[in-house]
Every structure is written in structure tokens, then in C-alpha cells.
Structure 1
């Protein structure tokens, strides 16, 4: 399976560049912020509506798999992020170092983890439940980890957590509750709705980078800074993949369970991470904070496609 550049990755890069050079400012930016809040809420409503109740029940029995994935996402990764944050002294700028730590605190993706697990012929039901649990838990646990590990840089209080819950968790639950009514419609129009999913994320990226450009934060970055954060993200992904492979073998998982552990354990969610960052890190610094997450997301998509293809070819 030859790696191909995902059009969504290209769109992310183009959006960031356009917003950096032609940002929306003033009242126009305020309007876009409000629109992005609604769009992300609808995005998570659709996530909830897509989640099959039958598939969820089938996947709940793989509790050892879920425990391994959640511990990787919210224990091993934060420890790894603390180590990487030490690179602030001499390798990364303070803003980018904070962004690297943040990407280690956000939950896993849903869609790409499930797709790659299916391609690699792994435990799809386990991947669906683990990735969904990661996002639901992450709504509460990511702000708590940010408050614990990034106290001086983030604004974490009851109001911030409430906004995150209202923006991500409540729409997800509503979507799941209404699935019996709208599930058929969602399934029939899923291709078009995926376009809305990606457009919502692009809108949040555009808002964040517009804020950054308005505050002239890019004048503080050099080409080396960008190169350094890409290298650090690649290193994090390599270590995470090695850890999940080793953990799966140590726990004696069958091949079918090692596959979702690999993908769900290594992946980090742009869809969850961006809105959480926009709430916890108010102001123009959000653009720098989310830059490592964007780079990591692109690396995991490309790497995941290659790995999933190879696993599919070697499946028994």
C-alpha cells in the first residue's frame, strides 16, 4: 500500500497558511469564533449518532484492551510529554514546548483508528469502543491533566470545564440518544457528513491561526523552530508505536487486539484537541499551542496508512 497524501492534510496546511497571511480580524473573527463553536458541537453530535449501540455492547467485553489503551493515552503519553517538555531549553520555544505537552494530554481519534483497524483486520468493535471511551473520558481528564501539568499556562476552572462539556460531551450524548431516530439518515449521507466533519476542524484551525496572525506571533518563530517541532513529533510517534507493540506482547494480546492497541494508543485527536485548546488557552497563543498537534496528526495519518497496509498484507 503506497502512502498517499491525504487531501485533508493539504487542506489543513493551506488553511493555516492562508489564515496566517490573510487573517480575519475584528468583528469578523468574533463571528467566526461563534460559528466554530456551533460547528464543533454538531461534529460531536454526529459522532454520537454514528456510534452503533450493538457494536458498542459487543466491544465492551474487551475490558483489558480498553484499559491498556486508556492507560497509554492518559498515563504513558503524559509522562512522555513531560520528558519532551524539557526540550524547551535549547530545542523548542516555550509556546511549542507547551504544545508538545498538550498533544500528549488529548484523547485518541475515533474515525482513523477504526478505519486503520478495519484495514489491518483487527478487532474493530474493540477499536470503536476504546476510541469513543477515550474521547468521552478526555472531555474531563484532559482539562484535569492540563491543570496538573500546565498550571501556569492554562486557564482551567469550573467554567472552562463546563464549556468543554457543553461543546463536546453533551452533543455526543444527544447524538447517541437520537440515533434510533436519525441513525438511518446519518448512514445514508455519511460521505457528505464527513465533509462537514473536516470543514468544522478546518474552521477551528482558521480561527486559531487568524488570532495568531493578528497578534504577530509568527515573528517569534524561525525555520529551525518548525523543523525542530516536526522532529520531536516524529520521535513521539515512534516511541508511542514501539510502546504499544511492546505492551501488547507483554499482556499476551492476540493479533486482533494488538492492532487497535497500536492505532488507538498512538493516535491523538485533532477534533477534540483543538476545541479543548481554544477554551483552555485563550488568546493568540492558541495557534502555537496547537501547531505540534497538527503536525503530529499529519504524521500519524501517513504512518497509519502505511502500517495498516502492511498489517493487512501479513494477516493470516
Structure 2
């Protein structure tokens, strides 16, 4: 029963992290220490991603330009516009920072492991999924902040300090991981379980510290049941638009069915692994926790939805 409700083990981890931050948020003198640990975890996460994402496969997979170009266009183009639309629609009913979280959701890159796993389960092009995940996350480190700054206007203005933090905390560790990939990637591949545990722990730490600051700042006093319901309803509509739009976009591009499945999950899924660190670099801690609410809800919902629809796509292929 639990496996059906939480098809990805990271879902209950995220829920537990949010609950822990709500009950036992970081306060007082411990805050700088927690923020330091969170920053170190983010640096390690992007270093590990740099080690893990295969350069050779990326270069080889770029040849499938229609699929990879379509994934990039949908993830950073159509999804960014969907996020911007969700922000505009919810702005009259939600606090401005929370509504801004929908735009932030829209500009993020795709997930890596879960998009590839869902594509494999559904009968998609697994090799292309790996390449799409790599390209989208490589592009996301640079494109996501630029898109956010462009679409958010004054609220998304990125100052020099934030740019330096993005470079130092996200980009440089990723590049360092790519440089040492030759030596460390065999170990990471041989210890996939440990590597996954380490990167998910890093994500959980970043979410816990950011959401703790939001709790201390009064997020649960800021939001009432009506506003929480609006967030859930908006995420549900956004999920339907993104998954339906990605499938329709693949059909419009006349992709083969396996490639269309790859585009579906690579284009419509969004990554908390990039979202939490990026929010921590762009916003003050209390603001980051509020901005993360839509992507936290979306991330959990997309994993459950993907696990439900992937077997159906596979059965349709068998028929």
C-alpha cells in the first residue's frame, strides 16, 4: 500500500523533512552553522552531479537534435511560460512570494534519476533520457537563473553577490566534478545506492534549512487553509498542463513513441535537486522557504503521477 502511495522513496523523505522543519526549525545561534552545512551539502551535490553526468553520452546523444532540442524548448520555454501564467493567476489570491514560487518552478531543469527511471518503466528511449537529463541540468545551472531574472522583473533581479554564489556554489563544483570524472565516475557507478543516498541527503538538508527559516518567519501563520488549497489546485492544473503539453508537443514534433515518452518525463518533471540550492543562492533564507513551496508540492506529485502513468504507457506499447 505504501509503495503505491509513495512509489519513490524520496517522497516520504521530503514529507518528513518538511514536518521536521515545521516542528523543530533551526533557530538562534545554530542558524549560521546550519546554513554552512547546507552550503557544503549543495557544493557536494553539484560536485557529485558533475562526476555522474556522462560527457561522452551527452556528446553522442546531441545527434538526436529533434528530441533533445524539443526537451530543451519544452523544459525552459513552455514550462517557464506555464509557471509565469500560474504566477499571474494565483497572485491575487496568494502572498506575492508564494505566487513567485510558481515561476521559479517553471524555470527549473528536469529531474535526473526519476525521469530516466520513469522513461525506462514506460518503454521510452532510456539512452536519450540520460542525455536529456544531462543536457537539461547542464543548461539549468546557467539558464534557470537567467530565465528567472528575465521573467520575474524586479523581484528576480540578480545582484553581483548572487551571481558569485551561483558560480561558486553551483557551477564550479559541477565543473570540478566533470574534470575528475575519469577517476571518480567508476566508483560512483559501482556504488549507485550510496551516491543516491548522499545526494538525496544533501537535498534534504537544503530543504530543511530553507523551510526552517520560512517556519521561523511565520509561514504557517501567513498561509491559511484556503491558500494552501489554492497552491494544491494550481499545482494539479500545472501538472495536467505540463504532462499533457509535453505529450502533445512530442506528437507535434512527430517523434517516435519511445522518444515521445522520453520527452514527456524529461520535459514535464522538475528538479528539487536544483531548485533547493538555487533558491538558497538567490533569496534570503526565510524567502527561499516560501518560494520553494510550489516546487516541493509539484515534485512530490510528479513522482506519484509518473509512477502511475508509466506502467500504463508500457502496457499500451505491448498491445
Equivalent position of 1:288 in the other structure: 290
The one of 150, 153, 171 equivalent to 1:148 is 150
Equivalent position of 2:220 in the other structure: 218
Equivalent position of 2:95 in the other structure: 93
Using the alignment, how far apart are the partners of 1:161 and 1:66 within structure 2? Answer: 27
Using the alignment, how far apart are the partners of 1:167 and 1:91 within structure 2? Answer: 34
Equivalent position of 1:125 in the other structure: 127
Using the alignment, how far apart are the partners of 2:229 and 2:67 within structure 1? Answer: 35
Equivalent position of 1:181 in the other structure: 183
Answer with 273-282 or 287-296: which moved more: 273-282
Using the alignment, how far apart are the partners of 2:249 and 2:90 within structure 1? Answer: 29
**Which SS does the other structure have where 1:153 is aligned?**
helix
Q: Judge conservation of contact 1:155–1:280 (CA < 8 Å) in 2.
A: no
Could you tell me how far 1:102 is from its partner in structure 2?
0.8
Using the alignment, how far apart are the partners of 1:149 and 1:9 within structure 2? Answer: 30
The one of 278, 281, 287 equivalent to 1:279 is 281
Equivalent position of 1:32 in the other structure: 34
Q: Judge conservation of contact 1:245–1:258 (CA < 8 Å) in 2.
A: yes
How many pairs does the alignment contain? 316
Equivalent position of 1:197 in the other structure: 199
Q: Judge conservation of contact 2:91–2:99 (CA < 8 Å) in 1.
A: no
Query: Which consecutive residues of structure 1, in runs of 5 or more, have no partner in the other structure?
Result: none
The one of 261, 264, 267 equivalent to 2:263 is 261
Answer with 44-53 or 108-117: which moved more: 44-53
Structure 1 length normalisation: TM-score? 0.94
Equivalent position of 1:20 in the other structure: 22
Equivalent position of 1:137 in the other structure: 139
Could you tell me how far 1:161 is from its partner in structure 2?
2.2
Q: Judge conservation of contact 1:116–1:304 (CA < 8 Å) in 2.
A: yes
Equivalent position of 1:78 in the other structure: 80
Equivalent position of 1:3 in the other structure: 4
Q: Judge conservation of contact 2:84–2:102 (CA < 8 Å) in 1.
A: no
Q: Judge conservation of contact 1:56–1:125 (CA < 8 Å) in 2.
A: no
Using the alignment, how far apart are the partners of 2:115 and 2:167 within structure 1? Answer: 23
Runs of 4+ in 1 over 4 A off after TM superposition: none
Using the alignment, how far apart are the partners of 1:86 and 1:243 within structure 2? Answer: 19
Equivalent position of 1:42 in the other structure: 44
TM-align CA RMSD: 1.8
Could you tell me how far 1:62 is from its partner in structure 2?
1.0
Q: Judge conservation of contact 1:217–1:285 (CA < 8 Å) in 2.
A: no
The one of 155, 167, 170 equivalent to 2:169 is 167
Could you tell me how far 1:155 is from its partner in structure 2?
4.6
Answer with 79-88 or 200-209: which moved more: 79-88
CA deviation string 1:106-149 (max 9, x = no partner): 11111111111122221122111222111121111111122122
Using the alignment, how far apart are the partners of 2:27 and 2:160 within structure 1? Answer: 29
Structure 2 CA distance for partners of 1:181 and 1:266, relative to 1, 3 Å: same
